[in-house]
Amino acid sequence: MTKPMVPSDAELLRSMLAGDERSFTALYGRYKGLVYRFALLMSGQASIAEEVTQEVFLALLRNGGRYDPQRASLKAYLCGAARNQVLLLMKRERPYVQLVDESDEGQEVPIAQLISDDDPLGDCARNEANRLVRQAVLALPARYREVIVLCDFQELSYAEAALALDCPLGTVNSRLHRGHALLSKKLRAAGLDPAPDTEVMRCFA
């Protein structure tokens, strides 16, 4: 028994641009979650995530013909578009966005900001831990947050993340290292990460 052929992104995009609604809904269904969750993790606000999703796919409808499959996967292309939209909207709504701190790269976020206001006994421990991780990610500077969201949450390769962020591969690598160090620090401050703090040192082993 043969499996039904799954159309590629490029095929769906081509049909979509030719006016096939089923191709559009298939493509949208394939990537709406990715774009929405990226925007949600970046902004922490469902309203921004909705607007970003809307704008990214409207832009794909209008300018999908400009997408070059030779240059990047559609996944990376959409993540790049979502990233630009998120930054634009967060800049517009900066006074209302919480826990985004560009200046505290080397500083601790106060523990009070990372601890639930709710009764911790009322929540499942796992859900509470996940919530704190999300808050800690939101508290990262945007340049580290975006690379962690793309590579760790969305599981893009470093190369795809570099295309989405329009930066060199080495920059992705270094930002990911630095972002992980900051995130670990914040999680330890919240009492979440049991692993010891380790500093890079010369070893002659």
Partner 1 sequence: MNCHDFEKLALALARNSLPDATARDQGLIHTEVCNHCAARLAQERALLARVRAVAAEMAGEEPPARVDALLVAAFRAQTVATASSIVIPARSRVGRRFSWKLAAVAAGILILISVMAIIWKSTNSRMPQREDRVVAPTPLNTPGPRAEPPVGRDQVAGERPKNLPKRVRRHASVKSPDEAEVVTQFFSLREGEDLTTLDSLQVVRVELPGSALGEVGLPVDPETMNEPVKADVVLGQDGLARAIRFVR
Give the footprint of partner 1 on this chain (CB under 8 A): 16, 19, 21, 24-25, 28, 32-33, 36-37, 40-41, 49-51, 53-54, 57-58, 61-62, 126-127, 129-130, 133-134, 137, 148, 152-155, 157, 173, 176-177, 180, 183-184, 187, 192-196, 198, 200-205
Q: How far apart are CB 2 and partner 1 at their closest, in Å?
A: 29
Nearer to partner 1 by Cβ, of 103 and 155: the residue is 155
Burial of 200 (0-12, 13-18, 19+ CB in 10 A): exposed
Nearer to partner 1 by Cβ, of 3 and 46: the residue is 46
Q: How far apart are CB 158 and partner 1 at their closest, in Å?
A: 8
Beta strands in the chain (DSSP E): none
Q: How far apart are CB 103 and partner 1 at their closest, in Å?
A: 23
- CA angle, 75 then 78 then 82, to 5°: 135
Report the distance separating Cα 163 and Cα 69, nearest Å: 12
Nearer to partner 1 by Cβ, of 167 and 192: the residue is 192
Q: How far apart are CB 201 and partner 1 at their closest, in Å?
A: 6
Nearer to partner 1 by Cβ, of 3 and 66: the residue is 66
Q: How far apart are CB 68 and partner 1 at their closest, in Å?
A: 21
Task: Give 87-135 as a 3 state SS string.
Answer: HHHHHHCHHHCCCCCCCCCCCCCCHHHHCCCCCHHHCCHHHHHHHHHHH
Nearest in space to 82 (alpha carbons), one of 103, 51, 105, 114: 51
Residues 6+ apart with CB under 8 A from 27: 9, 12, 13, 16, 60, 74
Nearer to partner 1 by Cβ, of 72 and 186: the residue is 186
